[in-house]
Amino acid sequence: MRQVAIIGIGQTKIDEHWDKSLREIGGDAAFAAMQDAGMEKVDSLYVGNMLSSMLSGQNQLGTFFSDWIGLWKQEAVKIEAACGSGAAAFRSALMAVASGDTDSALVVGVEKMSDKAGRDVTAALATAADADYEAEQGITFVGINALVMRRYMHEFGWKHEDFAPFSINAHANAMHNPYARLHEKINLEKFENSSMVATPINLMDASPIGDGAAAAIIVPAEKVMRKPKIVVAASAAATDTIAVHSRKDPLFLQAAYSSSRRAYEMAGVTPADIDVFELHDAFSIMAALSLEASGFAERGQGVRLALENRISPQGDVPVCTRGGLKARGHPVGATGMYQIVEVVQQLRGECGETQVDGARIGMAQNIGGSGATILTHILKKEE
């Protein structure tokens, strides 16, 4: 297998883009990545998306975007893995380039969510849950995460306010990210007083959806002359039961544990070597569970990392350095690619006020459903 490097990245601001279509949003990110890479053509296109058929009435996104951006005749496919679609598309492209099947691939994660009513979006998102035993019973993803969070608090003795530093950190970092949706600092008082959604989850525990796209171009590492060179050191994926109640332990992300352990082994690193971790904080409880399953904290102690201010860009476990899902926004099928792009920015030293000093190894972890599909990627900087 050939070593693969990321040669170009691009992204759009996450927002309610009433003036732009699905194709324009995805196209903007793709063109930005090609410009950054100094390339006009690629051999293949991989699109990560979850909801286009339900919210935009459009399937066949591979050809849809290849036609729009002028990549005729090349291979082009859509990859779907719920909220993990972006990273799943990246992994598929990676396998193609690493195997020698193709010499360059453009990966675009894209989602447009603001053109439908909230109830329609909620129903569409619920299709990532177990249709028979979760969605059919009327429970939503915020409801599922609320049940998990309530049980976590009961088992380990944490209070709701103890989760506040996750959101406070995300919002503080998003202030310096022009592509983030929420540019507003919050404090403990605002966290505690925000509207309740599903007890104990309130608005400040939950990530906002939106329209957005992020993209990257990958090629064999030997062909990259640009310095620093950002190589893909590891790519791993794992699954768990689709329904949370079917798991042996609903408070442990087994797929995060499995994929991160395999990624560490592939990259030849340990959690202590990771300089920046872009985790999937769709809800604050997921941030704690991801830190624990990925080896950064003991069971039930993920919250402590945030309380001790260890997750800030100046801490020893920097997470969500560009705002995370909580403040950058969560256009579901695009989120995994935003994470990849943000790790590349950190390793290139392009993050300004939220730059992690000396960042050389970064990890991105993208979650589909309530931990049913989890993909972990590790990137390294080579001078």
CB of 362 within 8 A of CB of 276? yes
Q: Which residue among 83, 171, 280, 377 is the active-site one? A: 83
Measure the CA dihedral 132/136/138/142, to 10°: 40
Is 330 one of the catalytic residues? yes
Q: Which residue among 171, 280, 330, 377 is the active-site one? A: 330
Six token digits for residue 222: 């030997």
Is 83 one of the catalytic residues? yes
**95-100 contacts at long range (C-beta below 8 A, 24 or more positions apart):** 95/235, 96/44, 96/46, 97/2, 97/4, 97/218, 97/219, 97/220, 98/1, 98/2, 98/3, 98/4, 99/1, 99/2, 100/2
Q: Tell me the catalytic residues.
A: 83, 330
